[in-house]
Copies of this chain bind each other. A is one copy, B any other.
Amino acid sequence: MENANSFKFQKITIIGVGLIGGSFALALKKKKLCGHIVGFGRSEKNLKRAKNKKIIDSYELDPVTACKDSDLILFSTPVGFFLEIAKKIKNSLKPGAIVTDVGSVKGKLVYDIEKILPDKIYFVGGHPIAGSDQSGIDAASAEIFKNAKCIITPTGKTNKNAMKSIISIWKTLGSIVTIIDPYEHDRIYGAISHLPHVIAYNLVNTVAEIDSSYLLFSGQGFKDTTRIASSHHELWRDICILNRKNLLKYIEVFIKNLDEFKKHLKASDAKAIERDFINARNLREGLG
């Protein structure tokens, strides 16, 4: 059993109170891991709603005020805002504060945030695999991190105690924590998550371009294949841009393979098509 007191925080700031930020706040409260939770975000309407729903205890419209005296700051906006926020708050953070995040991109971004934050502020990169096609506080729940993977991406500079605290939080929330190098994280999730999102968005747009009335004929297959195309456009815009190096390489491989398939199809090469399909089928069935 973890000792909750060893990583209890008096004041916590959530930068971006949406599905993940809101769920983190709810889960911390449920586990009694926090004193006061302040929210910061772009929309006062959303922050008010979050306060009324008791997801946060108070809110601020200025990030510097929101982070003042905080023991733990969570970045949970779309990843494209992280550097800008880090720059804004860096000189007003309490020495010893821990900054962490829930971004789907790590790699260079982790090193860039580290460079911005002063010496006595401890950054720990994190990525709970708990997002979905849902977004916003109405979908927030204290339970979404239970049995979910959470990736922690330390660098050579990461403070060991801060990392221990962050790992303890996620474990207490029920997550399965894995430690991965920030760049390796982006190679993995670029392939298994970012590429599929691009493909799903592209598939919907392609069918609509062929004939949008055909969408009325969509069955469970099309719906499942494109479910993640309902994901939030700002989140995924930022993820794609920040992981574009890997993603561009992966899109090339995808197109190369699709071109290969096209050749087989043009030639009605049943053997080659079947071989490709069997290969994919065996791999996919292995995932359950």
Give A contacts to B, CB under 8 Å: 80, 129, 132, 149, 187-189, 191-193, 195-212, 214-215, 217-234, 236-238, 240-241, 244, 247-248, 250-255, 257-259, 261-262, 265-266, 268, 270, 273-274, 276-281, 283-288
Contacts and interface: CB of A to CB of B under 8 A. Distances in A.
Nearest to A249: B210
A81 to B, nearest CB: 12
* Chain A binding surface SS class: helix
Given A188-B217, A233-B274, 4 more contacts: A215-B286, A224-B227, A230-B285, A254-B258
26 contacts: A80-B270, A132-B220, A192-B218, A192-B219, A195-B203, A199-B203, A202-B257, A202-B261, A202-B276, A203-B254, A204-B279, A208-B280, A222-B287, A224-B224, A224-B225, A229-B283, A232-B281, A236-B277, A237-B270, A241-B265, A244-B268, A247-B265, A248-B262, A251-B258, A255-B255, A255-B258
A254 B268 CA distance: 20
Contacts of A188: 211, 214, 217
A265 B281 contact: no
Contacts of A284: 200, 204, 226-227, 229-230
Contacts of A278: 233
Contacts of A244: 265-266, 268
Contact of A262 (B132, B225, B251): B251
Given A202-B257, A255-B259, A280 B215 contact: no
A200 B241 CA distance: 23
Nearest to A236: B277
Nearest to A269: B241
Contacts of A228: 221, 224-225
B149 A212 contact: no
Contacts of A232: 281
B283 A202 contact: no
A265 B202 CA distance: 13
A142 B265 CA distance: 35
A225 B231 CA distance: 13
Contacts of A281: 201, 229-233
A210 B265 contact: no
Contacts of A195: 203, 206-207
Nearest to A204: B280
Contacts of A241: 265, 268, 270, 273
A207 B188 CA distance: 9
Contacts of A277: 201, 233, 236-237
Given A248-B266, A255-B255, A265-B248, A203 B214 contact: no
